[in-house]
Chain A
């Protein structure tokens, strides 16, 4: 999974993110391919990153997603959480995901 350049970027374990409109995507054999219509960029995600991407529904926290990830992949909880926060930060930076503020 790609690491964000700034692991914090305002994100924490309890952050909730959602995929932004304008990102076309398709998962095939557990790997997601994303097309950012605005920037014209294409991203090919590995299975763990695809799992996180498809879980960004604006409801689940990054911690909850990371916990689910340990059941799907051979990864320690701490590593899954750190990687999830870093990757989520990179998605926000690229304009592919946005933080959901709870009212």
Chain B
């Protein structure tokens, strides 16, 4: 079977996926094709999907595990499925520029829909882990957050699962919502930029190849009182770390804290107390004014 390959641009990172088991599109996130980036270029991250049977003694094991863990191993990170016993699913080389994962061919005759779904979840978790590792190497991270653009600038709203990210996103035009579940931020020459990902959640999913300049991050706290409070760098770091997608491995968590430390020193972070359904644009305006943006209508 000839190799399948395609290139994507996510958070400014060129990802090349090669598969020796056939077209893996069915295993990838539904929105992944939106991030396709044609033309020549050097890959920042190369992912190879190969036949699961290549390295595994005995027949492929189904269903795939539903819990995953990263572990440091010689020359990189092992991506393991955790069920009754540990099952090596993939491997990410040191530096996170190359990774590979064993998969059953997409045309496998599945016994149940659950079996196929389990493989899809594992493949997506692997791609997400590879992206996160590479992002951290390049001064960025995924965030469990909603991301919107407003008047050309990017704003992130993070918080626990029922903090109101989705409700808040519905208050913006669809084209302005990068996602309400997983967005990416990355340090650039002139500050941090905000990007959508192929895992936008329920709302949005607008692709932003170039990224929007990130102007503020809001830690959402739903309640009866409303108000905006600037957080100290350490407060902000603690809150961002609490809401971050967990890597489950100390070395990677340390890298994440380094990225978040840069973020909280480069971008204002606020605690936003608000009632579910409140219009947040006055807070965006207020945060911009506090940062010296003045009246936004006066801006060119």
Binding site for B on A (CB under 8 A): 21-26, 28-33, 35, 37, 40, 42-44
Contacts and interface: CB of A to CB of B under 8 A. Distances in A.
Interface stretch (B88-96, B256-264, B274-282): B256-264
Contact of B253 (A31, A35, A43, A44): A35
B235 A44 contact: yes
Contacts of A33: 234, 237-238, 241, 257
A37 B248 contact: yes
Given A31-B234, A35-B253, A42-B241, A26 B258 contact: yes
B249 interface: yes
B242 to A, nearest CB: 5
Main secondary structure, interface of A, reads strand
A29 B232 contact: yes
Contacts of B250: 21-24, 37
Interface of B: 232-235, 237-238, 241-242, 246, 248-250, 253-254, 256-258, 260-261, 264-265
Contacts of A26: 237, 254, 257-258, 260-261
B234 A42 contact: no
Main secondary structure, interface of B, reads helix
B88 to A, nearest CB: 20
Given A29-B232, A35-B253, 16 more contacts: A21-B250, A24-B250, A24-B254, A24-B257, A26-B257, A28-B234, A28-B237, A31-B234, A33-B241, A35-B241, A37-B248, A37-B250, A37-B253, A43-B238, A44-B237, A44-B238
A31 B238 CA distance: 10
A44 to B, nearest CB: 4
B249 A42 contact: no
Contacts of B246: 40
A28 B233 contact: yes
B178 to A, nearest CB: 25
Nearest to A23: B250
12 contacts: A24-B253, A24-B256, A24-B257, A26-B254, A28-B234, A31-B234, A33-B234, A33-B241, A35-B253, A37-B249, A40-B246, A42-B241
Which of B234, B235, B241, B248 is most buried by chain A, counting CB atoms within 10 A of its CB?
B234
B103 to A, nearest CB: 28
A21 to B, nearest CB: 6
Contacts of B233: 28-29
A26 B265 CA distance: 13
Contacts of B234: 28-33, 44
Contacts of A40: 246
A24 B242 CA distance: 13
Contact of B257 (A21, A25, A44): A25
A33 to B, nearest CB: 5
Nearest to B257: A26
What are the 5 closest A-B residue pairs judged by CB atoms, nearest first? Answer: A31-B234, A24-B253, A44-B238, A26-B257, A24-B254
